[in-house]
Amino acid sequence: SQTIHQWPATLVQPVGSPLSLECTVEGTSNPNLYWYRQAAGRGLQLLFYSVGIGQISSEVPQNLSASRPQDRQFILSSKKLLLSDSGFYLCAWSVGGGAGNTIYFGEGSWLTVV
């Protein structure tokens, strides 16, 4: 069966420091991968999605970037964190193919920028 893991689960970082959140999916090949952010426990904002290695689409211009160095690995990064980057970050995956594309989420990572 397919599983998704992301880490770290919680992170407290000072303003201006770098960020790296990592996500891996097991049990499937060539998944679509996503990074979402959720503020204040409500509303899921799509940040990035990827349909293949090295292919990244950005939904919202901001202080963050994403990379997909391997088929089942998705990384969310920042060179210099802002206070507004605090939130709950969720990695997700789906099997490609258009209609009927169900998304499955990871456990989430809490980021607090201080």
Partner 1 sequence: GQQLNQSPQSMFIQEGEDVSMNCTSSSIFNTWLWYKQEPGEGPVLLIALYKAGELTSNGRLTAQFGITRKDSFLNISASIPSDVGIYFCAGQGGSEKLVFGKGTKLTVNP
**What is the Cα gyration radius of the chain?**
13
In whole angstroms, how close is the CB of 16 to partner 1 at the nearest point? 27
Q: Could you tell me which residues come within 8 angstroms of residue 69 by beta carbon, excluding any fewer than 6 positions away?
A: 53, 54, 75
60 binds partner 1 (CB under 8 A): no
Based on the shown chain and the rule CB under 8 A, indicate whether residue 103 belongs to the binding site for partner 1.
yes
> Are 15 and 81 in contact, with CB atoms under 8 Å apart?
yes
Q: Indicate whether 106 belongs to the interface with partner 1 (CB under 8 A).
A: yes
Given 7, 13, 17, 46, the residue binding partner 1 (CB under 8 A): 46
Give the shortest CB-58-to-partner 1 separation in angstroms: 12
Using an 8 Å Cβ cutoff, are 39 and 84 in contact? no
Q: Where along the sequence are the contacts to partner 1 (CB under 8 A)? A: 32, 41-44, 46, 49, 51, 90, 92, 94, 96, 98-108, 110
